[in-house]
Amino acid sequence: MGIGSLFLLAVGLSMDAFAVSVCKGLSMKRASWKACLICGLWFGSFQALMPLIGYFLGSLFADSIRAVDHWIAAGFLVLIGGNMLREAIGKQAEAEEPCGDCGADLSAKTMLVMAVATSIDALAVGLSLSMAGQVNIWLAVLLIGCTTFLLSGVGVQVGEIFGSRFEKKAEIAGGVILIVLGIHILLEHLEVLT
């Protein structure tokens, strides 16, 4: 997986954290740099840690499933992307309170729960990366963490300025990116793409 694909993966994974950060900014009277930094650190750290854990867990049994590993990797990415799309479209249909229980609370307890919740997909992506082969996991983790850190900070500012208009669009974009990457991995494995 090249640096371009890894960057797209990082952007796709960071969209949940971006959407939550937009909600945080929306619920704040004034989004400070401290709030941007707190969201960025929590979300960026967990988005980097989870794929690393998933990668090493996947590496433990990758040899036993080598014949179907690309199918599994592609399936994970397509399922995660599809789930993101389903959730985003479901939120569009609800149209009540767009940000739910997000609130302006930046306490460690609240941020830990949100960071874990938004990074579960990254754990599954880490499993996919271990099966996709020829992935520099350290570069992937660095890109995912830094991208999420930056987009989370930006999300807080976007929420304060523009409201929740970008939350659903970000989740839809993230879902589409993950689905495309999953299909790309499968097509490379089938040697349709070289």
Report the chain's mean pLDDT, rounded to a whole number: 81
Residue 104 in domain = yes
Residue 193 in domain = no
Range of the domain at 155: 3-188
Residue 194 in domain = no
What's the longest Cα–Cα distance across the chain?
54
Q: How far is the C-alpha of 93 from the C-alpha of 32, rounded, in Å?
A: 32
Q: What is the pTM of this model?
A: 0.73
For the chain, the domain total comes to 1
Q: What is the pLDDT of residues 123-174, one digit of tens each?
A: 888 888 887 777 889 999 999 999 999 999 999 988 878 765 666 777 777 7
Q: What is the pLDDT of residues 32-84, one digit of tens each?
A: 889 899 999 999 999 999 999 999 988 887 667 666 767 776 777 788 778 77
Which of these, 175, 179, 155, lies nearest to 166 by C-alpha position? 155
Residue 125 in domain = yes
Residue 155 in domain = yes
Residue 180 in domain = yes
Residue 139 in domain = yes
